[in-house]
Structure 1
Amino acid sequence: MFALICKRSGSLVNPRISIITHLGFLQVPPIIPFSSQTTSLSLKSSKKDSFTVSYLINRCGLSPEIAASKSKTVVFNSPERPDSVLALLGKQGFDTSQISKLIRTYPTLLLVDPKKTLLPKLEFFRSIGASSDDIASNRGILRSSLDNKIIPFFNLLKSLGMSDKRLVSVMKRLRWNLHAVPSSFVSNVALLKQIGMPQASILSLIAGNPDILNQDMQKFDSCVNRLVKMGVDPCKLAFVQAIMTTCSASESTWEHKKEVYRRWGWSDHDLLSDFQRTIVPRCSVLRVLLSKGLLKEVPGVSRFIRTSEEEFLDKFVKKYLKLVPQLLSVYQGKVSWNGL
Structure 2
Amino acid sequence: MTFVLRDDALAELVDLGDLIDAVRTAHLDLALGQADQPVPAISPTAGATIVLPMVATSHRLGLTVVKVLTDAPGNTDGPTQQSTLIVLDSRTGTRLAVLNGRTCTRMRTAAASAVATDALSRSDSRVLGLVGAGPLAVEHVAAVRRVRPIDEVVVWSRSAARVAEFRRALRHREHADGVPALDVTPAPEPRLVVEVADVLCTLTPSRVPVVEGAWFRPGLHVNAVGAPPRPDHREIDSAGMARATVFVDSTGIQLQKSGEALLSLQDGTTTEDDFRRELGAALAGLVPGRTGAEQITLFNSVGIALQDLAFAAVALQARSGETQPRDLSRPGLRSVSTR
Bin of the TM-score, shorter chain as denominator length: under 0.3
Which structure has the highest helix share of the two? Answer: 1
TM-score (norm. length: structure 1): 0.21
For the pair shown, which has the larger CA radius of gyration, 1 or 2? 1
Q: Which has the higher contact order (CA 8 A, sep 6+)?
A: 2
